[in-house]
Amino acid sequence: MFGEPLWSSKNIYGCQVVDTINKEILSKLIQEKIIYMLIYYLLENYKKGENR
């Protein structure tokens, strides 16, 4: 289960390729979300610093 995509198409299609594509899409989404959260966090701290 660990490291698998939330939906495992291996069981449905018996196709490793689809599963690999799912993993790549998921890891890209997670990376983008982490980057977005970091930028948001930095912007919030920057705003707080200006208000002092």
Task: Average the pLDDT over 9-19 and give the result.
Answer: 60
Burial 2-38 (b: 16+ CB within 10 A, else e): eeebeeebbeeeeeeebbeebeeeeeeeeeeeeeeee
For the entire predicted model, the pTM comes to: 0.48
Mean pLDDT value of segment 5-29: 69
What's the pLDDT at 1? Answer: 44
pLDDT score, position 28: 92
Of 17 and 32, the structure prediction assigns the larger pLDDT to 32
pLDDT for 36 equals: 94
Q: What is the pLDDT of residues 22-46, one digit of tens each?
A: 788 889 999 999 999 999 999 999 8
